Amino acid sequence: MKKQTKAIRIQTAKSLNREHSVPLYLTSSFAFDSAEQGKALFDETEEGNIYSRFSNPNVSEFVEKVCMLENAEDGIATGTGMAAVFASMAGLLKSGDHIVACRALFGSAHQIITQILSKWGITHTYVDATATEADWEAAMQPNTKMVYLETPSNPGLELVDLEMLVRLKAKYGFILNVDNCFATPILQNPIDYGADLSVHSATKYMDGQGRVLGGIVVGRADLIQPIRFFARHTGPSLSPFNAWVLSKSLETLDLRMERHCRNALQLAEALESHPDVERVLYPFLPSHPQYDLAKKQMSAGGAIVTIELEGGFERVKAFYDALTIPTLSSNLGDSRTIVTNPNTTTHAKLKPDEKAALGITPGLIRISVGLEDIEDLIEDFAQAATKSAEVLKEKVA
């Protein structure tokens, strides 16, 4: 069966009620039929649910689907994407280890690496996403245990060459851990390239309608095992309700991504030819500095378009005031188009030199392109670009 059929048809076994849609197992614990069964479940001679911090049918269904979509051996779901990122590091790294990470990271991942892991003696080295193989190699140390990256990155849409890192992995033996949230398993499967782990904020496209938080890490079974141990005992579990929503959403992920990507490409093309938009970044635009890599590594360009407007925060304010359709929010991956000014929101806590290294300027706007009619979106963004440029000119005059 093809993946899309499996994403729809994988389902928890029917109960005695023969329901068509999977029920919600909103239960914190599970009953034992006998004292022997309780003992057997705990000593793992029998498989089964014990307590929803460890496992739950709705959560297991969600994990099974993502493992299938990512071609992964095993996985563990968490309450948020950041819990998945943290568990993938805390479950595998120990004091004295070194992590090499791509500089272009989501703000909280950056905080985990620089402020939290560092407290436990785990050191790091950052490398630019677009660095050469020799630059990545220069960052390796004898104690480098993990390489962590996002591709494409948030919000600069920089790509990391997975094939190149898998080559280095063979030489240095690190764990390659990829945040695949922006691409989703529909557009890119890092594990197929040879990555060991793929991490997701399920809050984004996997949910796709801005309703629930969730996270998941999937990959090599021998690596998931210590991550599962970490999660079982520290408790960042995904709630059954959120898992139920997310598993249902995976039935339409493929369909939604197709429309998201088509809308995003058309919007990016339209804004690139707009005289009042300084710069448009989108992996599948030939003007993207890593267009060839994007075409090789991803089956479509994703649903984030990042634009640069001249005039700093004043221009952003005028642009926001002129927009009529998008929501002003810091989230992404929703059926509704969302605009974000990373400099003042998601990446506000970075130091000026860190922002400069990531290209986060005051006039940068991240557009999470939704599923609305594309003609409406193009018209709205185009008029807002024109109007905000005029407003700024009048202010200056």
Ligand X SMILES: Cc1ncc(COP(=O)(O)O)c(C=O)c1O
CA quadruple 248, 253, 255, 256: dihedral, nearest 10: 110
CB of 165 to ligand X, least distance (A): 17
Tokens of 244: 């139920």
Q: Is 82 in the site for ligand X (CB under 6 A)?
A: yes
Among 61, 70, 158, 179, binds ligand X (CB under 6 A): 179
- The residue type found at 1 is M
148 binds ligand X (CB under 6 A): no
| Cβ at position 331, least distance to ligand X in Å | 7
Map residues 93-112 to x or -, x wherever contact with ligand X holds by CB under 6 A.
-------------x------
Instruction: Single out the segment in contact with ligand X by CB under 6 A; choices: 81-89, 184-192, 263-271, 355-363.
Output: 81-89
For ligand X, the closer of residues 117 and 318 by Cβ is 117
Q: Is 302 in the site for ligand X (CB under 6 A)?
A: no
Cα–Cα distance measured from residue 183 to residue 179, given in angstroms and rounded to the nearest whole number: 9
The tokens describing 315, both together, are 């221009």
Least distance CB 214 / ligand X (angstroms):
7
Q: How far apart are CA 162 and CA 178, in angstroms?
A: 9
By the 8 A CB rule, do 107 and 113 touch? no
- DSSP H stretches of helix in the chain: 3-9, 35-42, 57-70, 81-90, 107-111, 133-139, 162-172, 184-187, 190-193, 221-234, 240-250, 253-272, 291-297, 312-322, 352-358, 374-396
Q: Which is nearer to ligand X, 153 or 388 (CB)?
A: 153
Per CB under 6 A, which region of 79-87, 127-135, 244-252, 272-280 contacts ligand X? 79-87
User: Residues touching ligand X: how many (CB under 6 A)?
Assistant: 14
CB closer to ligand X out of 81 and 363 = 81
Which residue number places its CB atom closest to ligand X? 81
Interface with ligand X, residue 337, by CB under 6 A: no
Token pair, residue 172, equals 């240095």
Residue 185, Cα to own-chain centre: how many angstroms? 10
Contact of 84 with 242, CB cutoff 8 Å = no
Nearest-CA neighbor of 244 among 85, 88, 19? 19
**154 contributes a contact to ligand X by CB under 6 A:** yes
Q: Answer yes or no whether residue 215 interacts with ligand X by CB under 6 A.
A: yes
CB of 100 to ligand X, least distance (A): 18
Taking CA atoms, 340 is separated from 93, 143, 305, 381, in Å, by 33, 38, 11, 14
CA triplet 358, 359, 365: central angle to 5 degrees?
115
281: enclosing H helix or E strand:
strand 279-281
Instruction: Kindly list the strands in the beta sheet with 74-78, ordered across the sheet, starting from the edge strand earlier in the chain.
Output: 74-78, 215-219, 197-201, 175-179, 144-150, 98-102, 123-127
Q: Near ligand X by CB under 6 A, which window of 18-26, 132-140, 178-186, 289-297?
A: 178-186
334 near ligand X (CB under 6 A): no
Q: Is 74 in the site for ligand X (CB under 6 A)?
A: no
CB of 304 to ligand X, least distance (A): 9
Residues 349-388 that bind ligand X (CB under 6 A): none
Contact flag: residue 150 with ligand X (CB under 6 A):
yes
Q: Is 80 in the site for ligand X (CB under 6 A)?
A: yes
Based on CB atoms, which residue is closest to ligand X, 215 or 301? 215
Question: What single-letter amino acid sits at 238?
Answer: L
184 near ligand X, rule: CB under 6 A: no
Residues near ligand X (CB under 6 A): 80-82, 85, 106, 150, 154, 179, 181-182, 201, 203, 213, 215
